[in-house]
């Protein structure tokens, strides 16, 4: 190549790179502005300093869970309201009025649509977050040719997630503190038994302050899991691509 051609090519490259850099080409798809209620939710989020305890896309405090993808379209928002009013053991009782609950949930729903905080969704060979694990199996079951569950079962599944029963009780396996698999036929998950157990705790199972309705829903949910055990085990195996993964290898240091 001649000297002039080389020089010409360099200059042309320089011009093209400059144009690309200055015009920000290809243009980013413009982000839709927050709606009024979503913006109100953002203000609620800031006012109560939620991010001191919760992460968004992995950024924030670690006392509570990452909320980026917590509120989706299928989430029963009514099940989240007690958390925003009464709180739980570690989540403070914020007593948010209903309008602020709606706003902050709208904001969280919008966040969910903006991307995934865990880049890889649950797929073959992946470990599941134990807290969400049962819910993911349940959702997968519902997705298969448009099946559905009774509202009480759905609410019970939300209570299960909110109370984080899944940190100890694993699907179809013995859990970290020898917490039993609750889907077995021998386990009594009747309302009366649950009520008693949750009220008092037992051994390494802590007590939980649940309302009567929450206990009834939990019982319905556990009965549903038990009835559909065979189906759910198969789904779970498929989701986890079982072979290389064992729950017993997960470091449960927090509970030792």
- 3-class DSSP state for residue 56? strand
Select 72 or 125, whichever has its Cβ closest to ligand HEC. Answer: 72
What's the closest the beta carbon of residue 179 comes to ligand HEC, in angstroms?
A: 4
Select 120 or 178, whichever has its Cβ closest to ligand HEC. Answer: 178
Angle (nearest 5°) at CA 213 between 75 and 93: 65
Quickly list DSSP for 177-242. TSPPPTTSTT----HHHHHHHHHH-BTTBPP----HHHHHHHHHHHHHHHHTHHHHHHHHHHHHTS
Select 14 or 62, whichever has its Cβ closest to ligand HEC. Answer: 62
What's the closest the beta carbon of residue 140 comes to ligand HEC, in angstroms?
A: 18
CB within 8 A of 216, min separation 6: which ones? Answer: 152, 191
What's the closest the beta carbon of residue 19 comes to ligand HEC, in angstroms?
A: 44
Neighbours of 49 (CB within 10 A): 11
Select 1 or 205, whichever has its Cβ closest to ligand HEC. Answer: 205
Tokens representing 191?
């309302």
- Binding stretches for ligand HEC (CB under 6 A): 44-45, 48-50, 52-54, 63-65, 67, 70, 80, 83-84, 88-92, 94, 104, 161-165, 167-169, 177-180, 182, 187-189, 194, 197-198, 202-206, 208, 218
What's the closest the beta carbon of residue 77 comes to ligand HEC, in angstroms?
A: 9
Select 94 or 233, whichever has its Cβ closest to ligand HEC. Answer: 94
What's the closest the beta carbon of residue 215 comes to ligand HEC, in angstroms?
A: 8
Neighbours of 127 (CB within 10 A): 13
């Amino acid at each position: 190549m001649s000297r002039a051609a080389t020089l010409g090519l360099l200059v042309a490259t320089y011009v093209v790179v400059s144009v690309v850099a200055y015009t920000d080409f290809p243009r980013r798809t413009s982000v839709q502005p927050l709606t009024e209620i979503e913006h109100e939710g953002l203000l609620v989020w800031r006012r109560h300093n939620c991010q001191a305890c919760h992460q968004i896309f992995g950024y924030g405090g670690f006392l509570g869970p990452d909320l980026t993808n917590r509120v989706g379209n299928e989430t029963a928002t009514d099940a989240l309201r007690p958390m925003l009013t009464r709180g739980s053991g570690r989540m403070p009782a914020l007593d948010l009025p209903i309008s602020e609950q709606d706003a902050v949930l709208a904001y969280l729903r919008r966040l969910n649509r903006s991307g995934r905080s865990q880049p890889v969704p649950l797929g073959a060979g992946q470990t599941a977050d134990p807290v969400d694990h049962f819910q993911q199996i349940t959702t997968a079951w519902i997705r298969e040719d448009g099946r559905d569950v009774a509202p009480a079962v759905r609410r019970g599944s939300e209570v299960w997630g909110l109370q984080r029963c899944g940190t100890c009780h694993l699907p179809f396996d013995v859990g970290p503190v020898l917490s039993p698999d609750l889907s077995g036929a021998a386990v009594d998950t009747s309302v009366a038994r649950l009520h008693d157990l949750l009220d008092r705790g037992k051994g390494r199972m802590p007590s939980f302050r649940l309302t009567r309705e929450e206990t009834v829903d939990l019982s319905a949910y556990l009965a549903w899991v038990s009835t559909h055990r065979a189906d759910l085990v198969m789904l779970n195996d498929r989701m986890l691509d079982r072979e290389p993964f064992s729950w017993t290898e997960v470091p449960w240091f927090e509970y030792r």
